[in-house]
């Protein structure tokens, strides 16, 4: 049995489908989830990573767990997994846990708990997800505009389906030995916000006007759903990335045996959200 937390998210939904399609027994976990949210044969369990004790029913019979950085008690979550007999943890973390641990301390704390668990573990440090562009869905649908700060600063955003594919390979033990590995997952090339808006326009077959926000405008928008220190750190990453944050990692290709997908490929698959 493999337990996938965040089973209704951009990575988790695909991961559940990949594992189930490969014949694995899967339990999908999210705060709000029903059998209708998962493929036939997948067990759906509603649970909150913020309440470690509430995870125990979801973990029954599990050998491996795909874990998100969520909640404030990584030690409690890891303890619940150990008590349930889980042998392997795969943590979806953030590249920022390595490059900016002072900002992404939450993710770094989860990484430490996983490393110190005494279980077999693998950490997936994701770069920015291509699915962040869903924030443009409504303004593109309504006004054919897309707004972002730092319009000409490039980062190698990664397709969440590639993150899910790496997660599936690691959980199933495919490819090279993954125990004790920390993988950085990026796309095949840096793209700028302006270039990503152009890729969406090409997928739509209609022009999209790109609007470059000021730092202050972006900060006000992001502060509505992110703590201010994380907003500050995220804007620093987006506006003045470190060299390693702009580098293309070989890890997706190393695990999957193929190059990571481009943002344009992600846009073509998801263009319906922007019509």
* Angle made by CA atoms 191, 194, 196, in degrees to the nearest 5: 55
Identify the pLDDT of residue 214. 97
Alpha-carbon span 184 to 189, nearest angstrom: 14
Identify the pLDDT of residue 116. 97
**Tens of pLDDT, residues 224-242:** 988 888 898 899 999 999 9
Identify the pLDDT of residue 103. 87
Identify the pLDDT of residue 123. 98
Identify the pLDDT of residue 53. 86
Question: CB within 8 A of 270, min separation 6: which ones?
Answer: 131, 134
Residue count (the chain): 275
* Cα dihedral sign, 107-3-32-142: positive
Identify the pLDDT of residue 225. 87
Identify the pLDDT of residue 164. 98
pTM for the structure as a whole = 0.96
Identify the pLDDT of residue 226. 85
Question: CB within 8 A of 224, min separation 6: which ones?
Answer: none
Identify the pLDDT of residue 230. 84
Identify the pLDDT of residue 177. 84
Q: Which parts of the chain sit beneath pLDDT 70?
A: none
Identify the pLDDT of residue 174. 83
Alpha-carbon span 80 to 82, nearest angstrom: 5
For the chain, strand residue ranges (E) read 2-5, 26-30, 43-46, 64-68, 88-94, 120-126, 145-149, 181-185, 209-213
């Amino acid at each position: 049995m493999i337990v996938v937390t965040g089973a209704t998210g951009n990575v988790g939904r695909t991961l559940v489908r990949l594992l189930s399609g490969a014949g694995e027994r899967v339990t999908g976990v999210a705060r709000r989830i029903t059998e209708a949210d998962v493929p036939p044969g997948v067990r759906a369990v509603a649970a909150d990573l913020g309440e470690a004790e509430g995870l125990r029913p979801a973990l029954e019979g599990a050998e491996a767990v795909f874990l998100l950085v969520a909640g404030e008690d990584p030690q409690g979550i890891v303890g619940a997994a150990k008590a349930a007999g889980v042998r392997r943890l795969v943590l979806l973390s953030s590249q920022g846990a390595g490059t900016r641990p002072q900002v992404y301390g939450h993710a770094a704390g989860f990484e430490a708990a996983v490393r110190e668990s005494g279980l077999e573990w693998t950490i997936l440090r994701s770069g920015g997800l291509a699915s962040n562009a869903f924030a443009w869905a409504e303004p593109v649908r309504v006004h054919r505009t897309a707004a972002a700060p730092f319009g000409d600063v490039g980062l190698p955003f990664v397709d969440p389906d590639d993150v899910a594919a790496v997660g599936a390979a690691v959980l199933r033990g495919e490819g090279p030995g993954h125990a004790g590995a920390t993988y950085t997952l990026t796309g095949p090339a840096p793209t700028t916000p302006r270039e990503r808006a152009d890729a969406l326009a090409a997928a739509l077959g209609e022009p999209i006007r790109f609007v470059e926000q000021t730092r202050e405008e972006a900060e006000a928008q992001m502060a509505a759903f992110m703590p201010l220190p994380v907003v500050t750190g995220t804007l620093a990453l987006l506006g003045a990335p470190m060299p390693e944050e702009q580098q293309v990692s070989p890890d997706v290709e190393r695990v999957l045996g193929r190059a990571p997908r481009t943002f344009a490929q992600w846009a073509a698959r998801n263009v319906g959200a922007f019509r």
